[in-house]
Amino acid sequence: MLPTIGSGNSDAGIGIQVIARLRPMSAKELKSDTLPVVSASTERNEVTIIKHANRKTFLFDRVFTGFSTQVDVFDQAIAPICKDVLRGIDSTIFAYGQTGTGKTHTMEGDLASEEGRGIIPRVASHILEHFQQDASYVKFGVSASYLEIYNEELTDLLAQDTAPDKKLQVCEETGKNGTKLISVPGLTQKPVENVAAMLDVMHQAQERRHVGETKMNKFSSRSHCMFTLLVSSERALRDGTVLKAAAKLHLVDLAGSECAKSAAGDVAAVSNAAAKAAKARESERANINKSLLTLGRIITILKECQTNGQPVPRLPFRDSKLTRLLANALGGNSKTCIIATLSPSKLAVEESMSTLKYAEAAVGIINKPMQSASLGVRLSKGLLGAQGEGDAEAKGTSQDWAEMECRLTYAHQQ
């Protein structure tokens, strides 16, 4: 049995990465002859919005415009997060914005087109290719789960058994160092060995996800979806040690925010069937907005407390299933990236301003990511001494903790 070193963390913490992505004008917006009132600059990482003749500029970590490609977004903002996951650091990426602004396009994209694929397929492909191309990995595994939150009910989008009485629940435990361990017992974990298998998983989930037509978007996502990759590996180092790492990467496509005024018209039904559908849309909208408002409250409280150096009070994570699942992403032990998606149209100026303020509030929030990695040391016969030559791997000996920390740092540098 090999001596190991467990999880480590950074006391300094690291800020949440906040990104803005402005899509081009849609065909519907161009047809209505509306004016663009939101502009963006990738060079200055800023977004400018004009509302009632007032101009306001917001600064973010990165900004992408309507000319930015899916490859640009991944290479510049997401690829570094993949490296963290491979090192054993839990990470979360989620997209927020008004319905119809490109959240699903950013997160999933066009699965049939290699160029049009979004963050989720690109992340999975990047991690799998990394393992397959590096011969130093003696063992690795990647599995995927896909969870939907619809009207505050959890659904396993990959489950074969869709019995109505199968209820999923969010469970929370306190781990070492006071960390929160969030899980959904019974959620399907599908092994993913190649890109084709990963695309099959995504196609299966897409067929089951709740979508519906609203005034703002013909194919609007009516639920929050969390795609999770569980990544584990064992890597042989040149000095004979084995570096083990494990991490989760949560990729979240939030349902679109939609104010009642903008969505008005859905309820103008002319038949019983239409009235029933409109009522369902209103119920969906209420649940979506409730969870997003809770998320916004948590972000605001965290920002105020951390900015003013005040202790953080008990946060309302339990007020929605979404925020319970994202508890580690906000002020917790995960590296987090928020992508705010925007429409340039004057028709959406109210929601665009709200999205920008929401994203701005998250700038500067500090998380304290923890690394889940272990270094197994195979000791030489000379070091074992009286323990016996034939029992080298079975017994081993403990090393000074500081030395083990140094070895782990050296291992990562290798």
Q: Answer yes or no: is 335 a known binding residue.
A: no
Residues with Cβ within 8 Å of 75's Cβ and at least 6 positions away in sequence, in order, are none
Closest CA to 408 of 377, 385, 378, 369: 377
Q: Which amino acid is at 13?
A: G
- 373: which DSSP letter? E
Known binding residue 8? Answer is: no
Return the sign of the alpha-carbon dihedral for residues 128, 133, 136, 138.
positive
User: In sequence order, which residues have a C-beta less than 8 Å from that of residue 341 and are 6 or more positions away?
Assistant: 20, 21, 23, 95, 96, 97, 98, 101, 102, 103, 106, 355
> Is 97 labeled as ligand-binding?
yes
Residues in the chain: 414
- Distance set, CA 360 to CA 66, 141, 144, 147, 340 (Å): 20, 37, 31, 28, 10
Burial of 44 (0-12, 13-18, 19+ CB in 10 A): exposed
309 is in an annotated binding site: no
Annotated ligand binding at 98? The verdict is: yes
Quickly count: other Cβ atoms within 10 Å of residue 160's Cβ: 7
Find the helix or strand (DSSP H, E) in which 28 lies. helix 27-31
The gap from C-alpha 303 to its chain's centroid, in whole angstroms, comes to 20
Q: Is 6 assigned to a binding site?
A: no
Q: DSSP letter at 75?
A: I
Give Rg (Cα) of the chain: 23
Q: Is 104 annotated as a binding residue?
A: yes
- Is residue 131 a contact partner of residue 113, using CB atoms and an 8 Å limit? no
Binding-site residues for ATP sit at 97-104
Per the annotation, binding residues are 97-104
